[in-house]
Structure 1
Amino acid sequence: MVRSYLEAHWVAAALCMGIALLLLLPLGVPGGDRALLLIYLASPIYMLHQVEEHLGDRFRRYVNGVVFGGVEALTPGDVLLINLPGVWGINLAALYAAYFIDPGWGLAAAYLILVNGITHVAMAAHLRAYNPGLASAALVFIPFGLYAVLHIPGTGLQHVFALVIAIGLHAAIALHARHRARAGRAVVGVAG
């Protein structure tokens, strides 16, 4: 029951939370630290992108219909798990790691935004069409992600670790969707 409620309403929560987190910004970031500010901003920026991307279940329907030819490669439950524990959880963990350990351990939030932005643009170029989330990915994610990656101090290890997390999450999503699509096609082939 809770899961179905979240599946139906998480995008509205993203809009409210994204705006609320931005409204809290004037209260400041501890120490006025630019790196912490950038890592903090990753969450509301991502949440507002998720509204463009997922309002009306647009992205899931686009991926299933256009990318996978009508096969259900992503379910509402998949989208919920990708975005709440995946994106929101990684961004929260990055903020805590940056605050309590070192700013460089928060770079995953910046790379997550940058990799997602590049993914949207690459998908649009490959399919020669708009995909839900493309506008905010191209206009906000790529510039913000580049700026954050260049201005959050970190060691080479911290950059590699963050990039592996971002690419790993996106690769896991793609592999999961392909696996579900193949399984769906196999079922249709057996039934047909």
Structure 2
Amino acid sequence: MVRSYLEAHWVAAALFMGVALLLLLPLGVPGGDRALLLIYLASPIYMLHQVEEHLGDRFRRFVNARVFGGVEALTTGDVLLINLPGVWGINLAALYAAYFIAPGWGLAAAWLILVNGLSHLGMAAHLRSYNPGLASAVLVFIPFGLYAVVTIPATTLQLVVALAVAIGIHAAIALHALQRARAARVA
């Protein structure tokens, strides 16, 4: 019951939370730290992107129709798990890591945005068409992600771990969708 409710309403929650987190911004980030501010902003920016991407189940339906030829490679449950723990959870963990350990440990949030933005751009180039989420990916994700990755102080290890997390999440999503599509075609 809770899962079906979340599947039906998480995009509205993303809009509400994205706006609410931006409205909290004037209260400031502890110490006025620019790196922490950028990592904080990753969540509301991603949530507002999710509204463009998933409102009306647009992205899942687009991927299933255009990328997988009508096969249900992504379910509504998959989309919920990808976006709540896979994006909101990672961004929250990144913010806590940046605050309590060091800013560089929060870079997973910036890399997640940048990798996602580049994925939307790559999909658009490959399919030669708009895909849900492309506008915010090009106008916000890629510039924000590049700026954050370049300006947040980090060690090489922190950069590599953060990039590996972002690529790993996107690769896991793609592999899951491919496996589900293959299984559906065999059945």
Give the TM-score band, short-chain normalised: over 0.9
Q: Which 5+ residue runs of structure 2 have no aligned equivalent? A: none
For 1:8, the equivalent position in structure 2 comes to 8
Shift of 1:149: 0.2
**Which has the higher Rg, Structure 1 or Structure 2?**
1
Q: How do 1:20-59 and structure 2 match up within 5 A?
A: 20-59=20-59
Q: Distance in 2 between matches of 1:140 and 1:102?
A: 25
Q: Distance in 2 between matches of 1:153 and 1:113?
A: 17
Q: Distance in 1 between matches of 2:130 and 2:176?
A: 23
Shift of 1:151: 0.7
TM-score, length-normalised on structure 1? 0.97
Equivalences, count? 187
SS at match of 2:153: coil
| Residue identity matched to 1:60 | R
SS at match of 1:86: helix
For 1:175, the equivalent position in structure 2 comes to 175
Q: Distance in 2 between matches of 1:30 and 1:156?
A: 25
For 1:150, the equivalent position in structure 2 comes to 150
TM-score, length-normalised on structure 2? 1.00
Shift of 1:104: 0.4
For 2:98, the equivalent position in structure 1 comes to 98
Q: Distance in 2 between matches of 1:145 and 1:74?
A: 26
Shift of 1:167: 0.3
Q: What do you get for the CA RMSD once the two structures are aligned?
A: 0.2
Percent of aligned positions that are identical: 85
SS at match of 1:140: helix
For 1:190, the equivalent position in structure 2 comes to none
Q: Distance in 2 between matches of 1:95 and 1:143?
A: 20
| Residue identity matched to 2:149 | V
Q: Distance in 1 between matches of 2:78 and 2:139?
A: 26
